[in-house]
Structure 1
Amino acid sequence: MVAAAAARHPGRETLAEGEGEPLTCAELDRQVRAVASALLDRRVVAGDRVAVLGRTGLAWALLDCAVLAIGAVVVPVYPTSSPAQIEHILTDSGSAHAAAETADDARRLRAAGEVWTFAEISAWARGPVRPDLDDHIAAVRADDLAMIVYTSGTTGVSKGCMITHRNMYVSAANTVRQTGALFDGVTALALPLSHVFGQTMLFACLFGGARTHLLPGIPELVPALARLRPTFLSLIPYALEKIRKHCRALLTPEAEQDAVVTGLLRLQHADAPEASGDPVAAALGGRLRYVISGGASLDDSTAGFYAGFGTVVLNCYGLTEAATAVTVSAPRTNRLGTVGKPIPGTAVGIAADGEVLVSGPHVSPGYWGAAREQRAVDDAGWLHTGDVGVLEDGYLRITGRKKEILVTSGGKNVAPAPLEDRVRLHPLVSNCMVVGEGRAFVAALVTLDAERAEAWRLAHPGQDPATAIQSAVDDANSLVSRPESIREFRIVAGDFTVANGLLTASLKLRRAAIAEIYSTDIDLLYSTNRK
């Protein structure tokens, strides 16, 4: 993609470090070639695994493209990974080379041998290009292994999912084709490149020609929006919720509710919201028209909130085993509550038990290392996603996870995610987990945002924050029937974080671990005096 863009549009702006000046396509191609040459000088050859740990930035992207150019294999590592997780990834992948953002990060990868820092990689980008580089590039084939991406591991040890060059190209290029001219704009990419969603969006931006500002994360993205003025973004729902909470400071509660109602009406009638000059739209950069949202479910009220200020959220659906993209909502055919239609070349089916099945050229050939005997694709060629959904006029609607559907003692099936998403929108709430498997009713564990909760207590002396949280629970319950509603909730100590092992690196709940840590709190929810 990099070389092709340089040949077609040498002077076009492409990747930038943060808010800095973007490289041209020609300059990006030269820097990638220089880094690829430096890798060859350091005896990295086709098939070698290169572990990379760090936050999103230009050096990460240069290394990404350079490793792939010479046929070596990228092994992304989350910066938040524990020592045990890093050891598993390095050992299972057999990574013999590694790169890290900082010297401290490099020490965490020492088991891989020599570890380069991102600063060193940036210096390589200014170096010479080997005369034999094109021979190495020409030897790479579409079905060669490009990446080993380790899944989040919500229920156990993470598996190394193999992603080929073909898988990544199909996923990225067809996301661009599905969304029309969307990628011919300006964006800020703050998704982690350690996640396949971030990787796919990076290559989609390169393929589509977007001017792409690479930022380390959401804390850096929010203040940069007004200056970078993106026309589109790619985010996970968690980030959209965080930005929405940030924007609340600019609004009265009534204005926020009016925006949600207006936005939902626009989306339900497929009206394209017009960009407005209000403070929220200005905080988002003034010309943000679309956000591609994937990685988890998104509450409809959040989509309505953004639409009320001129920004349409385009839900998408995918998984690591399909190089992220399965379905993507398109600007002209966006439908509220769905995750869009399959991208070109992709088939989606629904099994008898409601499981979503996928086939196409972007589906992974399988797992690496210790998980190589596990199969996600059946004999008929269908990838079993583990998600439950329905197809409506070609649009996919995800209704839950097979393993996360709760069944109460009364036999009621309950999808926890929509309830959790809605409760989590409350300003005081940091996280929420719904429980109720085999129990008489549905309940929830709630953690508080420590800073906001302290400010609330100072403003409401002597009052219990639970009184405020009840409104969030009532709002969530409005989405479901009485047997599916949250009957009781409990505010628990601490929080669910990646650091304490209660969230995956991609911010999904580790339900079993949370249930074990907070078993006493769950038992209290179901004590005999409760009905």
Structure 2
Amino acid sequence: MNTVSVTANGFVPSDSSSLYAIVSEAARRDRSRLSLCAADGTALSAGELDTRVRALASALLERRVEQGDRVAVLGRTGLEWALLDCAALAVGAVVVPVYPTSSPAQIEHILRDSGSRWYAAESADDAARLTTVGASGPVWSFDDIATMAAGTAEHPDLDARIAAVGAGDLAMIVYTSGTTGLAKGCMISHRNMYVTAANTARQTGDLFDGTTVLALPLSHVFGQTILFACLYGGSRTYLLPGVPDLVPALARLRPTFLALIPYALEKIRKHTRTLLTEEQEAAAVERGLAVLATPGAAPAPAEDAVSAAFGGRLRYVISGGASLDDTTAGFYAGFGVVILNCYGLTEAATAVTVSAPETNRLGTVGRPIPGTEVGIGPDGEVLVRGPHVSPGYWGAAADQRPVDAQGWLHTGDIGELDDGHLRITGRKKEILVTSGGKNVAPTPLEDRVRLHPLVSNCMVVGDGRPFVTALITLDADRVAKWRAEHPGTDPATEIQAAVDDANSLVSRPESIRAFRVVDGDFTVEAGLLTSSLKLRRAAIVAAYSTEIDQLYVSRG
């Protein structure tokens, strides 16, 4: 096995430390330092945050929330979500995040499988969604959470309850995205999340000693990790509901760093095209890639319309959750912003590897965070071992074991190690094998096609087929605008150019030989995307089986 072991400076909390210790320690260090800030302008110092968390924790105790009780939370990212998160964890309750985009069937499965006893929802509509599918008790609104956090006297048993929670206790049950079936409830202990948050902050130097805007969903383990890394590192952290709210807020909030998924980076890149000509964008990509060709190199801060739209201070973005096309990394570097790719999965509390500013290397996802071992199995599978690896699954999936007898977590991803840096090359279950025996990794092709301004989504097809094809959906608003600007012109030529660009990344046997623009879009509501916006490939193939068959009939 090809293995990298990173043990130096790996932080592991004491057995008696819960995640609440991150909040209390930040208050002890500097009570006046700004910590979490709401979209409405409410700003809490580290001391005020600790006071609010303790008040809300007391309110939970008054309502007889017991250690080990599961608390399901449905809502977009915001201050109330973060307060409930910290307060529930402080008293030993188990947080069960629920994606706001989840379908009724998905919500019902999570509530039933987790055995949740308590519920919180952002809005009345969200509360109704929980109640309709079986929430068995009262549902607190986020307004209720804010009131409880602001006005509850400290419970006499609070300190004793906090002290009773240890690092090995269960903190969260986070349901995986369910690309191939029902989501599995992944158990995350206080130690798992503490380790990954603290070591992510340590891996990136003083990055988390800055200002950020957190628009990642707290219903996803990536968002949870970044929240606790921000609290650990002392960041001034603005909490916004999502990426649509982030883009117009950047110029006002002026972050020094962000954490985003590639989908969001692509959306922001497309948004900035209103400030650029095609030639200027191409020049920025070329300029950025030239800088990133040297490991650890950072572009000089830029002064232009795009940089101003980013707030003028943005220097780094941690990108995780999926692959990122190199041209997008080059685009941001062309405007003074370095993308730090990272890699992880729910079963490792998100972080396995994180690119550090000083050693950032284009095309890789960085080195293992401190205290983590990464191995490459005989079949190329990425294996992970460390104190942040989940103890297993909950409920219906409890008999499944992601960790082998030697303690290695089998990720299902294919990768390789390059001087200690991990490079992800595919996913075992998503590698397409054509009828001619050619292995094709679909993700790089899909990522590149999706970058075209008219494209909304793309899925590559070819498993068991004679060649590779693709289904493509279009962004209706952008297509309408494009048609108005190019009357009488068929946008198909534009889509062909996007496909040709993607094909330049691969050999001819791996290239997209034909494509079909299909009606509608791949959405969560239609069951074609997971809640974290990953393709549900089998569902898409079933939904568009006729179109796929026609692609192969038409090409012989």
Residue matched to 1:253: 278
1:348·1:358 contact (CA, 8 Å) conserved in 2?
A: yes
Aligned equivalents of 2:40, 2:110: Cα separation in 1: 32
Q: Return the match for 1:10 from 31, 43, 47.
A: 31
> Which amino acid in structure 2 is aligned with residue 14 of structure 1?
S
Deviation at 1:13, TM superposition (A): 0.4
1:275·1:309 contact (CA, 8 Å) conserved in 2?
A: yes
Deviation at 1:107, TM superposition (A): 1.4
1:22·1:211 contact (CA, 8 Å) conserved in 2?
A: no
Residue matched to 1:142: 167
Alignment gaps of 5+ in structure 2: 1-21
Residue matched to 2:55: 34
- Deviation sequence 1:158-195 (CA, Å, 0-9, x none): 00000000000000000001000000000000000000
Q: Return the match for 2:245 from 197, 206, 220.
A: 220
3-state SS of the aligned residue for 1:23? strand
Residue matched to 2:339: 313
Q: Return the match for 2:179 from 142, 154, 159.
A: 154
Q: How does 1:1-400 map to 2 (within 5 A)?
A: 1-18=22-39, 20-110=41-131, 111-112=134-135, 113-127=137-151, 128-270=153-295, 271-400=297-426
Aligned equivalents of 1:19, 1:389: Cα separation in 2: 43
Aligned equivalents of 1:104, 1:229: Cα separation in 2: 33
- Deviation sequence 1:194-234 (CA, Å, 0-9, x none): 00000000000000000000000001000000000000000
Deviation at 1:118, TM superposition (A): 0.3
2:294·2:361 contact (CA, 8 Å) conserved in 1?
A: no
Deviation at 1:19, TM superposition (A): 5.6
Aligned equivalents of 1:97, 1:107: Cα separation in 2: 14
Aligned equivalents of 2:331, 2:154: Cα separation in 1: 49
- Deviation sequence 1:347-394 (CA, Å, 0-9, x none): 000011000000000000000000000010011110000000000100
Aligned equivalents of 1:458, 1:336: Cα separation in 2: 38
Alignment gaps of 5+ in structure 1: none
Aligned equivalents of 1:287, 1:350: Cα separation in 2: 38
Aligned equivalents of 2:336, 2:537: Cα separation in 1: 36
Aligned equivalents of 1:95, 1:252: Cα separation in 2: 52
Aligned equivalents of 1:175, 1:79: Cα separation in 2: 26
3-state SS of the aligned residue for 2:469? strand
Aligned equivalents of 1:19, 1:190: Cα separation in 2: 14
3-state SS of the aligned residue for 2:509? helix
Aligned equivalents of 2:313, 2:227: Cα separation in 1: 21
1:16·1:214 contact (CA, 8 Å) conserved in 2?
A: yes
2:70·2:115 contact (CA, 8 Å) conserved in 1?
A: yes
Aligned equivalents of 2:65, 2:56: Cα separation in 1: 11
Deviation at 1:11, TM superposition (A): 0.7
1:484 aligns with 2:519: no
Deviation at 1:21, TM superposition (A): 4.2
- Deviation sequence 1:386-424 (CA, Å, 0-9, x none): 000000100000000000000011111000000000000
Aligned equivalents of 1:16, 1:268: Cα separation in 2: 37
Aligned equivalents of 1:35, 1:21: Cα separation in 2: 17
Residue matched to 1:438: 464
Aligned equivalents of 2:180, 2:157: Cα separation in 1: 46
3-state SS of the aligned residue for 2:324? coil
1:277·1:286 contact (CA, 8 Å) conserved in 2?
A: yes
Aligned equivalents of 2:288, 2:362: Cα separation in 1: 11
3-state SS of the aligned residue for 1:526? helix
Aligned equivalents of 2:520, 2:89: Cα separation in 1: 42
Aligned equivalents of 2:419, 2:292: Cα separation in 1: 17
How many aligned positions are there? 530
> Which amino acid in structure 2 is aligned with residue 174 of structure 1?
N
Please give the TM-score of this superposition, normalised by the length of structure 2: 0.95
Aligned equivalents of 2:535, 2:332: Cα separation in 1: 25
> Which amino acid in structure 2 is aligned with residue 480 of structure 1?
V
Please give the TM-score of this superposition, normalised by the length of structure 1: 0.99
Aligned equivalents of 1:129, 1:480: Cα separation in 2: 62
Aligned equivalents of 2:109, 2:435: Cα separation in 1: 38
3-state SS of the aligned residue for 1:224? helix
| Structure 1 residue ranges, 4+ long, deviating more than 4 angstroms after superposition | none
> Which amino acid in structure 2 is aligned with residue 297 of structure 1?
S
Q: Name the % identity.
A: 75
Deviation at 1:459, TM superposition (A): 2.4
3-state SS of the aligned residue for 1:14? strand
2:250·2:311 contact (CA, 8 Å) conserved in 1?
A: yes
Deviation at 1:263, TM superposition (A): 0.1
1:513 aligns with 2:535: no
3-state SS of the aligned residue for 1:18? coil
Deviation at 1:53, TM superposition (A): 0.2
- Deviation sequence 1:143-162 (CA, Å, 0-9, x none): 00000000000000000000
> Which amino acid in structure 2 is aligned with residue 495 of structure 1?
D
